[in-house]
Structures are given as C-alpha cells and as structure tokens.
Amino acid sequence: MSLNTLQNKIAQKSALVSVIGLGYVGLPVACEFARMGFNVIGVELQSERVDKINQGISPIEGNEPGLEDLLAGVISSGRLHATGDYQELKQCDVVLIDVETPVDENNIPRYAALQSALRNLGPVLKKGALVIVESTIAPGTMYGTVLPLLEESSGGQLNRDFYLGNCPERVMPGKLLQNLDSLSRVVGGMTEETANTMILLYRNVVQADLDPVDCVTAELVKTVENAYRDVQIAFANEVALICEAVGGDVWKVRELVNKSPYRQMHLPGAGVGGHCIPKDPWLLAYGVQGKDVPLRIIPAARAVNESMPGHVVQLLGEALASANRTLAGAKILVMGYTYLEDSDDTRNSPSARLVDLLQAQGAEAVVHDPYVAGYQGDLLQMAQGCDAAVVMVRHSEYRDLDLSSLSKALRSPILVDGRRLFDQSYLNKNGLVIREIGRGVPKP
C-alpha cells in the first residue's frame, strides 16, 4: 500500500487503526479515534485491563472527564475492541505505540516495553502500514532503536514496506481527553510525506496546531519541554529555600516576581512526581550520552527537585523539636500520596520518598489519600494519635479541612505545609505549630 492509498483510507476513515498500550495515554487515544469513526484495535498485555475495557469500564481511576462515557460508547458501538493478541493487528493500516518508556535507578532509559511491542508487531505488520511512536523517547531513539528493530522484526524496509514516525503525546492526568483534543502536537515523520500523512490522521482528533518536523526534532521537543518545566520548578524550589533562610515568603516573592514582564516563576513544593517530569530530563540527557556535551543544569535541577521530600522531613524535625519531640518514635500523618492533586496517579510520588525517609528516621507514617485505595478514610480519625501532619498534595478536599479539629486530633499540634495549601492567617489562629516550604521563620 502506498502512502497515497493510506491517505485515502484515512480520509474515508476506512483505515484500521491500532493502539499498542492502553494506559493513561493509549486508552484515551484509542477512544478518540474510535469516537471519530475509525475502527480501532487496542492491544494491552494486562488481561484484566483488556477485560475491563471490553466491558466498557475504564481501568483509569481518578477524575477523567468524559472518558468513562466515551469508552462505554465506543465499546458498545463496536468501534473499539481490546485484545492481548498481536495477530489481530494483521490488517491494521496505522499502528500507534503508547507503551511506557521509564528510566532505571541510574537514569538510563529502559525500552523493554517499546522493544517488545516492536518485536511483536514486526511479524504481523501489514505491508505499507504507518507505525507511529507516541511514547516519549530520547533524541536518536527513532533512528537508533525503533527503525532497526522494526526492519529486523518485520523483515521489511522503511518507506518501502512500512512508514515510520513519532508524535509525542501531551496528556496530563485529569485532562486526558481535553489535552488530546486541544494541545498542539509535533508530528515527526521519517519523510515529509509521512509527516503529512500523520497530520491527515491526527487532524481527526487534534483541534490545535500539528507541526510537521523530522523525527529527531520531535524527540527533542517533547523531552526539552519537560526538562524546561523541571528546571523551572527546581528554580522555584531553590528560591523557596532561600526565603526560608532569610525569613521571606516565597509565595509573595513569586507573586511579585511574576508581575515583572516575561517572568513565570513556577510553584515550589514538596517534590516533583509523575510519569513525565522526573524522567524526561534524563531521556533528553541520554540523547547526548557518550558525546562531549557537559550537562550541568538538567542534572542539577533533578537533584534539587528530588531533594524536596527530604527538606520536608527537615522542616518536620525542626517543628517536632520545638515541641521537644524527635522524629524517632513519632507518628506522622501524611496528607496525600498521589503525585498530583485530585488524581489517583501515584507514579514517582514524592510522598513515597517521604515515607521512606521518615521510616529511615524511626518515624511511623500514617498515609491518607482520598484517591488511593488503602489510604482512604476519615482524615481526622487517622490524625488521632499522630504527632504531626504533613501536606504533600493539594487535594481539593483538604482545602475545607477544619484545622482546629485537626489540631485537637493530633497529639502535638504540628503541621508542615508542603504545598501552601493553607493561608498563613488561617494557619496561625488554630494553635498549630507551622512550618512551610518557602516561608522563613520571621525574625523576632
């Protein structure tokens, strides 16, 4: 099949689309193409997820506006079907790959899922099919890993037997469908015609800019945009530490700095979690591994952000000391375990790091999170007998918390606010010993 034929099938929506990996990214993507009238086959290794999806039940917890209803609709209409069997992809004209691309403890990318998907896809790849990697990958991965592996596993040749591109996703838990439709995408094609064919496909779903580029540019844009965010957050965190040391309030400083033109100081906080920001800077860095490119800012920003849960423990120790308590033997209420407010996503959660650090100091952590099974429950009840509380996530339900009730429930009325959840004046009048990231103890 030529690209021209594929373009016609896409225009007629008769192209059979498949999505490999039905997670936070792949499932909404599959649903959106099905919603737009394509027949979509979703491939997912976890059989329980396959079963749930084929029953029209989303395996993604948390508040994802529209996803549950959309999934039920496209399953009942037969537009979307999930499977664990790659054999079902034999007739697919377009294959989107949305598998995880984590980094390991040495910050080296682990492409096992991507490699497995490519090895399984090759033997069943339809002649003339278009394969698009949507996962975030290090610069150079398309040419260095994806292309050789797909040619080997399919026995085919690029631009003769299959076409190849990458179109990094820009989704965010809580806005999966909204981001898919409304955010621009860079569309990296191995050839210009491939990029144009990809744009024809994505125009069905994306209402924003679709920018045709080469594959290396697409790999760079995605990893750079998240490394940029990580550096910005690290800067805000470092300013927070300065404000604590000199008796300032980083939130006031940030508000006034951002009044200066072209400033956009990010939010300091108790740490940086999620599936994107902690790993994408390392994917970017990996793109120059072995090359003489000294990276100083990107690793330093990662170190600052990774240190923030430890800083929360330090603030906690100081607050306990003021009540003649130590961390050893203390029971600490950890408010929030997900990496982002009002989501169930706990990947790379700063709270997980905090719990490890507390336990290393001989403290016991009592974790509360309204979105995470096993951590749900009555917060004030869980606060009973705890020596202090730590705000790690800005869940909406915490904002209405009656601090005086919390103060009474705690054994010692200590609160460390890692996300500036509460207003200072509100904090003061509730008899709590407060420490906050970014707010210094005002000089007497």
Catalytic residues, which ones?
222, 276
DSSP assignment of 71-120, as one string?
A: HHHHHHTTSEEEES-GGGGTT-SEEEE-----B-TTS-B--HHHHHHHHH
173 binds ligand SAJ (CB under 6 A): yes
CB of 345 to ligand SAJ, least distance (A): 8
User: Is the C-alpha dihedral spanning 260, 423, 302, 319 positive or negative?
Assistant: positive
Site residues (CB under 6 A) for ligand SAJ, limited to 91-120: none
154 binds ligand SAJ (CB under 6 A): no
Residue with tokens 């999930």: 82
The type of residue at 54 is: N
225 binds ligand SAJ (CB under 6 A): yes
- For ligand SAJ, which residue of 16, 171, 352, 410 counts as binding (CB under 6 A)? 171
Rank residues 172 and 216 by Cβ distance to ligand SAJ and give the closer one.
Answer: 172
CB of 154 to ligand SAJ, least distance (A): 29
DSSP assignment of 395-413, as one string?
A: -HHHHT--HHHHHHHSSS-
Bridge partner residues of 133 (DSSP): 97, 166
Neighbour tally for 212: CB within 10 Å: 18
Residue 380, classified by CB atoms within 10 Å of its CB into exposed (0-12), middle (13-18) or buried (19+), is: middle
C-alpha gyration radius of the chain: 24
Q: 285-306: b or e for each residue (b if 16 or more CB lie within 10 Å)?
A: bbbeeeeeeeeeebeebbebbb
Residue 9 in 3-state DSSP?
A: helix
Site residues (CB under 6 A) for ligand SAJ, limited to 230-249: 233
CB of 181 to ligand SAJ, least distance (A): 13
CB of 231 to ligand SAJ, least distance (A): 11
274 binds ligand SAJ (CB under 6 A): yes
272 binds ligand SAJ (CB under 6 A): yes
What CA dihedral angle connects 411, 416, 421 and 427, to 10 degrees? 60
Question: Contact region for ligand SAJ (CB under 6 A) — 101-109, 148-156, 267-275, 426-434?
Answer: 267-275
Rank residues 119 and 228 by Cβ distance to ligand SAJ and give the closer one.
Answer: 228
- For ligand SAJ, which residue of 276, 319, 320, 434 counts as binding (CB under 6 A)? 276
227 binds ligand SAJ (CB under 6 A): no
CB of 391 to ligand SAJ, least distance (A): 12
User: Is the C-alpha dihedral spanning 15, 19, 25, 28 positive or negative?
Assistant: positive
Instruction: Count CA atoms closer than 13 A to 248's CA, side-chain side.
Output: 16
CA atoms of 122 and 126, how far apart (whole Å): 9
Question: Contact region for ligand SAJ (CB under 6 A) — 54-62, 70-78, 159-167, 171-179?
Answer: 171-179
391 binds ligand SAJ (CB under 6 A): no
- For ligand SAJ, which residue of 226, 346, 351, 407 counts as binding (CB under 6 A)? 226
Question: Contact region for ligand SAJ (CB under 6 A) — 104-112, 269-277, 286-294, 309-317?
Answer: 269-277
- For ligand SAJ, which residue of 16, 92, 277, 416 counts as binding (CB under 6 A)? 277
Going by their DSSP bridges, the two strands 80-83 and 40-43 should be labelled as parallel
Rank residues 172 and 288 by Cβ distance to ligand SAJ and give the closer one.
Answer: 172
CB of 309 to ligand SAJ, least distance (A): 11
The site for ligand SAJ, by CB under 6 A, has a size of 19
CA atoms of 334 and 352, how far apart (whole Å): 10
CB of 265 to ligand SAJ, least distance (A): 9
CB 427 within 8 A of CB 403: yes
Neighbour tally for 127: CB within 10 Å: 10
Site residues (CB under 6 A) for ligand SAJ, limited to 312-351: 339-340
CB of 159 to ligand SAJ, least distance (A): 29
Instruction: Count CA atoms closer than 13 A to 104's CA, side-chain side.
Output: 6
Rank residues 387 and 436 by Cβ distance to ligand SAJ and give the closer one.
Answer: 436
Rank residues 25 and 30 by Cβ distance to ligand SAJ and give the closer one.
Answer: 25
Q: Which residues bind ligand SAJ (CB under 6 A)?
A: 169-173, 225-226, 229, 233, 266-267, 269, 272-274, 276-277, 339-340
